[in-house]
Amino acid sequence: MPAHPKTKVRANVPVPLTEAAIQTRFVSFSGFNDDKEHIAIIYGQPNDQDAPLVRIHSECLTGDVFGSQRCDCGDQLHEAQRIMAAEGGVLLYLRQEGRGIGLYNKLDAYALQDQGIDTYKANEMLGFDHDSRDFTPAIDMLKALDLTRVRLLSNNPHKADELVAAGIDVTERIETGVYVNQFNAEYLKAKVEQQNHRIKLKDSQS
């Protein structure tokens, strides 16, 4: 530990309590261009299904682990876990914190959002693309797992497009639940209005 670690408070993160556990198989993948270790969590026997359920979930430490209400990540992750526990599937957990900019920068992006900047513009103001993610690792992982025909659990049409472009047969894109609250409403609205996410918000067209 350095003598003077950075200790600045970077952003406010509203969190509640909760959650439980499930029986799964974990497969770790490495050797990608991004030098990250990505994880596949396998529920049941997806290779025995015609088009198993797949969720490609980008890491969100604040939402997935600590239940931050600033986004919908934790709720979507837990929904995927519940569905896959019941019907099988594969959860690809990609280490793409903050849509690829990392936690440090995501917290800075949150601070900008607290000043009224939207989630995509905030990334750009920090010098990044609005979304820095590359879904090639997910494609490689699916192929390595011999899963080339899938149903995708996501509201993000871009994820489906990337899989299809890489030769994965996406037979269906299944929308997640809508997890809106007072802290993430603007974030979800920006997803719908700027990136065509299929989230049925009251005030926005999905």
Ligand X SMILES: Nc1nc2c(ncn2[C@@H]2O[C@H](COP(=O)(O)OP(=O)(O)OP(=O)(O)O)[C@@H](O)[C@H]2O)c(=O)[nH]1
Q: Which residues bind ligand X (CB under 6 A)?
A: 57-60, 71, 73, 76, 96-99, 101, 106, 109-110, 113, 119, 123, 154-156, 159, 176, 187, 191, 197
**15 within 8 A of 67, measured Cβ to Cβ:** yes
Is residue 109 a contact point for Zn ion (CB under 5 A)? no
Residue of 53, 60, 122, 139 interacting with Zn ion (CB under 5 A): 60
Smallest separation (angstroms) from ligand X to the CB of 86 = 19
Is 106 labeled as ligand-binding? no
**186 within 8 A of 194, measured Cβ to Cβ:** no
Q: Which is nearer to Zn ion, 63 or 67 (CB)?
A: 63
Is 99 labeled as ligand-binding? yes
Continuous H helices in 92-152 = 97-100, 102-113, 119-125, 136-144
Query: 72, 108, 133, 173: which one is catalytic?
Result: 133
Annotation says 131 is catalytic: yes
**191 within 8 A of 199, measured Cβ to Cβ:** yes
Is 119 labeled as ligand-binding? yes
Query: 34, 95, 131, 140: which one is catalytic?
Result: 131
Show the tokens assigned to 122.
């905030």
Per-residue DSSP letter, 80: H
Q: Which residue bears the tokens 């509201």?
A: 155
Is 154 labeled as ligand-binding? yes
* Nearest alpha-carbon partner for 39 in 90, 104, 106, 97: 90
Q: CA-CA distances (angstroms) from residue 59 to 64, 75, 145, 191, 200?
A: 7, 13, 20, 17, 23
CA-CA distance, 69 to 72, in Å (whole number)? Answer: 7
Smallest separation (angstroms) from ligand X to the CB of 155 = 3
Smallest separation (angstroms) from Zn ion to the CB of 119 = 10
Annotation says 35 is catalytic: no
Is 136 labeled as ligand-binding? no
Q: Per CB under 5 A, which region of 72-80, 86-94, 105-113, 126-134 contacts Zn ion?
A: 72-80
Is residue 163 a contact point for Zn ion (CB under 5 A)? no
Residue of 44, 46, 52, 63 interacting with Zn ion (CB under 5 A): 63
Positive or negative CA dihedral for 184, 196, 63, 55? positive
Q: Provide the binding-site residues for Zn ion, judged by CB under 5 A.
A: 60, 63, 71, 73
Task: State the binding site for Zn(2+).
Answer: 60, 71, 73
Active site residues: 131, 133
